[in-house]
Amino acid sequence: MIDLILGWTGVVLVFIGVFFLFLGALGVFRLPDLFNRLQAGTKATTLGVVSTTIGVGLIAKGWLIFSLALAIFLLMTNPISSHALGRASYRAGVKPYKGTNPDLYAEKVKKESDQK
């Protein structure tokens, strides 16, 4: 009985996760500039993959510990890689979407490139 309850909770969690993976990809596809895409991509896919992993851990007996470790690893590394991509592409000269206002980061990047 308890297996059945846990299993179906897991199925629902995997559904939520798969749906958010889809939303993340849709955001990356639709949004107008790189930084907005990065936002949608990071947040939605992080929740998606974490929820999928925990759901799978609940469905299959004995997988929960490893899947929790995988979920924690993904939670810690995903924001770091998106942060690195955002910073690198701003410095590589990617212009933000024209409605971006204010742009306080531009001053800092300009100051640093003047110093070089």
Partner 1 sequence: MERAEASSINRYFYAVVLYFFLWIILTYPFSIQEWEAGAAIAFIAALLSYRELSVSGLKNIKRIGILLFWYLPVFIRELIKANLHVAGIVLNPKMPIKPGFVKIKTNLKSPVARVWLANSITLTPGTLSVDIEDQYIYIHWITVGSTDVEHASEEIAGSFEKILEVMFK
Partner 2 sequence: MRIEIPQFIWIAWFVIVSIATILATIRAIIGPTNSDRAVGLDTWTTITTGFWVILALYFFQYILLSVSMVYAILSFLGVLAIARYLERGL
- Give contact residues for partner 2 (rule: CB under 8 A): 3-4, 7-8, 11, 14-15, 17-19, 21-22, 24-26, 28-29, 34, 37-38, 41, 45-46, 48-49, 52-53, 56, 59-61, 63, 66-67, 69-70, 73-74, 77-78, 80-82, 84-85, 87-89, 91-92, 94
Compute how many other C-beta atoms are within 10 angstroms of the C-beta atom of residue 85.
15
Tokens of 102: 């204010």
Residue 95 φ/ψ, nearest 5 degrees: -85, 135
Cβ–Cβ < 8 Å for 22, 47: no
Distance CA 19, CA 27 (A): 12
Question: Is residue 17 within 8 Å of residue 51, measured between CB atoms?
Answer: yes
Footprint of partner 1 on residues 68-107 (CB under 8 A)?
Answer: 69, 75-76, 79-80, 82-83, 86-87, 90, 96-97, 99-106
The pair of three-digit structure tokens given for residue 107, joined into one six-digit string: 């001053």
Instruction: Report the interface residues with partner 1, using CB under 8 A.
Output: 20, 23-24, 26-27, 30-33, 35-36, 38-40, 42-44, 46-47, 62, 65-66, 69, 75-76, 79-80, 82-83, 86-87, 90, 96-97, 99-106, 108
